[in-house]
A and B are shown apart, each in its own frame.
Chain A
């Protein structure tokens, strides 16, 4: 059941938008700081996957791998990410789906991610991804921390070309 608290909703919607904006700004250090140390960033290949151990995934990252990925994105010798892809996230429909037993929140949103990486391949240099994003948040003092970010792409089951930028 959706949680209807206008003040909380506005605070959470701003948090989700800010998180996406940090990715668009390639401010990866600040982005990583939003996540718990034992967090999970997960892009499954199917909505049927209940837990990351159920099967293979596009992304199934502990924080260490998130850090290595984003460090690599800024490395000019990372051939698969040079030039580094740029993204524009469009965030919409943020909902607080429920409050868990510990006061943590499950938040869903619809997001479109437009990605551009200059590779001299004309139209193929731009791609559009989209789907349902689910964040699990826990209160940390006056801030929120992300314990899990799950991205269910509408084309999750499809065949992907190289993916470098986090959604």
Chain B
């Protein structure tokens, strides 16, 4: 028989002679069965640049950190009706959070147990009849049980529906905020939060009804950089004076043009807050706690809630009583960073998800919450803050995004000039701790203690069993 045309065409390309090949280079890069020593990348006051730029380290982080922490997924008000769902991620693993017909909320991987296609393509919707795969119609319940497979007869009795469900993601709620984990052995959520639970309390307690609801309008921005860079930026109080100085300059320029009776708008107040003197930040506290979490005490002096304090405060007193209302309003914290997946601003009812996409691509998803029972103006302040803190068009955010990408450029260099340029120093404020308790350490807000604390957690996650 004549060989086919295709085979003849292929015959024109001789097979490589493997015996003649110099395999030295291959041998050098052959997979090494010994686990990489990630702890060697973290020193007490420096980290190796590859933690930001190495795709293999990113892949390991998805398993060791995002696969083993409690990851913020959604607020229960986002799935208020039976069948409502939202899609989120645990690291790079897609997850569907659905409220079932009986009102219970479940999370499952967004992956059909048949061919692996995502069940839900959109970020939210309603699926009261279950999640039906668009490929072959396999139908799953909110908690991942396989209800039906079309043409089941073709499986000749071999397909047991019970064998092909989607394993539920472990879900726990703290005051309505839902966290998921892929780790069956992890401590309960409340232990994972530790002292930082008080910052979630701070958000919910501010509601004059005890209830908060998530706005359906969500801001998404992204940068071509590693997810850790935003975690290392948000509580860094030294960078604003440099990175955001142009915003301060422009806000001052506009302030000078205003008439005496013309108030400065809140968004410019937010830009000006970046121009506070160094001593202001040195006097503020930073609080770090186990597992990489932190917050800044003091809200950086910007006031976005100018003329509703009285009406709002009266509503709060009516619900909580005078003493408790005073305590709640007295809590004065800036951003709380819940490593590795979310950042929280209780005073302005804003929560951000930090979503790692690739080692060099990160999405930030900003949610605004309404304090039920508070004046409408309170929600508008939250909207204003959330827009300033999460819009890609925010002058402050635009500068941060530029710098994250520049950090990737600088650290992604193929060869470095010397040993020093292999390392990123994180030693600022190393010996300035103010108080250490079993639950947290208090230190000046100018310190890089929160970054060191993140890398202590990073090394513990990465050094643990994979």
Q: Which residues of B contact A124 (CB under 8 A)?
A: 224
CB atoms of B216 and A55 under 8 A apart: yes
Closest chain-B Cβ to A138's Cβ sits at a distance in Å of 21
Q: Is B237 an interface residue (CB 8 A)?
A: no
* Chain B residues whose CB sits within 8 angstroms of the CB of A59 once the complex forms: 391, 393
A119 to chain B, nearest CB (A): 8
Q: Is B264 an interface residue (CB 8 A)?
A: yes
**Inside 8 A of A160's CB, which chain B residues have their CB?**
220-222, 391-393
B246 touches A78 (CB 8 A): yes
Q: Within the complex, which residue of B221, B223, B402 is in contact with A79, where a contact is CB–CB below 8 Å?
A: B402
Residue of B nearest to A77 (CB): B246
B314 CB to nearest A CB, Å: 22
A46 near B: Cβ within 8 Å?
yes
Inside 8 A of A162's CB, which chain B residues have their CB?
221, 223, 392-393, 397-398, 401-402
Q: Count of A residues near B, CB < 8 Å?
A: 37
The contact of A77 among B216, B218, B245, B384, by CB within 8 Å, is B245
Residues of B within 8 A of A69 (CB): 250, 395
What interface size band does chain B fall in?
A: 35 or more
List the B side residues contacting A80 at CB < 8 Å: 395, 398-402
B249 part of interface (Cβ distance < 8 Å): yes
| B219 cross-chain contacts in A, Cβ below 8 A | 45, 56-58
A160 to B393 CA separation, bound complex (whole angstroms): 9
Asked whether any CB of chain A lies closer than 8 Å to the CB of B146, the reply is no
Known A-B contacts A65-B268, A163-B393; the reply to A75 vs B250 at CB < 8 A is yes
A residues lining the B interface (CB < 8 Å): 43, 45-46, 49, 53-62, 64-65, 67-69, 71-72, 75, 77-81, 119, 124, 157-164
A-B contact pairs, 10 of them (CB 8 A): A45-B217, A45-B219, A53-B380, A58-B392, A60-B383, A71-B250, A75-B250, A159-B363, A160-B391, A162-B402
Q: Can you name 20 extra interface pairs (CB under 8 A) apart from A56-B387, A71-B250?
A: A45-B218, A53-B379, A54-B383, A56-B219, A57-B387, A60-B387, A62-B267, A64-B254, A65-B265, A67-B254, A68-B395, A69-B395, A71-B249, A72-B249, A80-B399, A81-B398, A160-B220, A160-B221, A161-B224, A162-B398
